[in-house]
Amino acid sequence: MKIVDYQQAPLLVIWEVTRACALACVHCRASAVDVRDPRELSLDEGKRLIDEVAQMGTPLMVLTGGDPLQRTDLEDLIRHGKQAGLVMATIPAATPRLTQERVLSLRDAGVDQLALSLDGETAAKHDSFRQVEGTFDKVLQAAAWIRDAGVPLQINTVFGSWNFQDFSKLAQTVTDLGAIFWEIFFLVPTGRGSELTSCTPEQYEKLFEQIHELSLTAPFTVKVTEGQHYRRWFAQHDDVEKRSAFHHHQRLVAPRPVNSGNGFAFVDHTGEVCPSGFLPLTCGNVRDVPLSQVYRTHPTFRQLRDLSLLQGKCGVCDFRDFCSGGSRARAYGVTGNFLASEPFCAYEPPRS
């Protein structure tokens, strides 16, 4: 993976190409509705944004939503990103818009990876989470289409207190679907997700152990998102075997942690730039200011990259530099302060 100086550019930019979506997922940070916003960035504006992302040295770009399939020009955006030299991925919603023909169209446009969300190993669990009946069956069907098209399949799963006991069952389902990448996302309380209950610190520790054990044998890469303190857990339990496994199975993951505003930037459907979609602090708009300028110079972004500013136990933690202080988005969602301690880290730093 390309080495990126996080002071100059993010490793990953996510652009919310639309906020419109036919689903009503209970964790949705954007509280999406099934109507497109006329203020969305146009195709030409999107192409300019893609060019900016490539020029600033960022290698990866994900087109998200809402449901990106609501944009008929999604393939044009992917094609432009590939021409600019970017790795391009997108996350279609499991709705009737997701067809085999659209999967093939995205493949032909050059998409590098397609991600599907799966939040329960049964239709009852998943459809309840997505609040639309039939979404589980659509995920299974779409996964087969993606595999048959020869496009790498990623599965995204949100974990909280309601499903942490289902980890093994979900891992088996991801295996059965033939995914090459499982992104395990830990709930951040924002948008509709503020009504849900996060894992407890003890549940995080248990899941970290299970994630590690899975990474030793899984036929796919495991990536942890908004659970940066997994790296602290790993360091505490490190040995030669585990160290080798970490570097092998996390081969598509950044060599150092990505965090809000620190190796990561988010652009919403109207062009507003935030440190992440889960840390919704507007720092500028790409219609007015280059993305690189916002990322490199805005005070919020600069503070997020200065780990010496972290407060509470994260500020004095001996693992601070390794895990970057846990999830800055979760700290903000729980406390209103993005420099506060990771709220659900069980580790207590030694007192000086």
Q: What is the pLDDT of residues 113-128, one digit of tens each?
A: 999 999 999 999 888 8
The pLDDT, as a whole number, for residue 2 is 72
Q: Determine if residue 348 is left, alpha or beta; phi over 0 gives left, psi from -120 to 50 gives alpha, anything else beta.
A: beta
Amino acid 243: pLDDT: 47
Radius of gyration of the chain (CA): 19
C-alpha 197/C-alpha 190 separation (Å) is 11
> What amino acid occupies position 172?
Q
DSSP code of 225?
E
User: What is the rounded CA–CA span in Å between residue 252 and residue 275?
Assistant: 22
Structure tokens that stand for 15 in this block:
């652009």
264 DSSP assignment: E
Residues 177-186, mean pLDDT to the nearest whole number: 97
Hey, which CATH number is domain 12-298, 3.30.70.100, 3.30.300.30, 3.20.20.70, 3.40.190.10? 3.20.20.70
Least confident range of 44-53, 117-126, 213-222, 244-253: 244-253
Q: Residue 49: count other Cβ atoms within 10 Å of its Cβ.
A: 25
Q: Rounded to an integer, what distance in angstroms lies between the CA atom of residue 231 and that of residue 236?
A: 9
Query: At which residue do the structure tokens 């933690």 appear?
Result: 317
Contacts of residue 312, defined as CB under 8 A and 6 or more positions apart, other chains included, come to: 340, 341
- Mean pLDDT is lowest, of 19-23, 258-262, 293-297, 299-303, for 19-23
> Which residues make Cβ contacts (< 8 Å) with residue 14, sequence separation at least 6?
61, 62, 63, 64, 264, 265, 266, 267, 276, 277
Interval 72-103: pLDDT, tens: 999 999 999 999 999 999 999 999 999 999 99
Tens-place pLDDT, residues 8-65: 999 999 999 999 988 766 655 555 577 889 999 999 999 999 999 999 999 999 999 9
pTM, full prediction? 0.93
C-alpha to C-alpha distance for 303 and 257, rounded to whole angstroms: 16
Q: Among residues 80, 74, 78, 75, which one has the least CA distance to residue 51?
A: 80
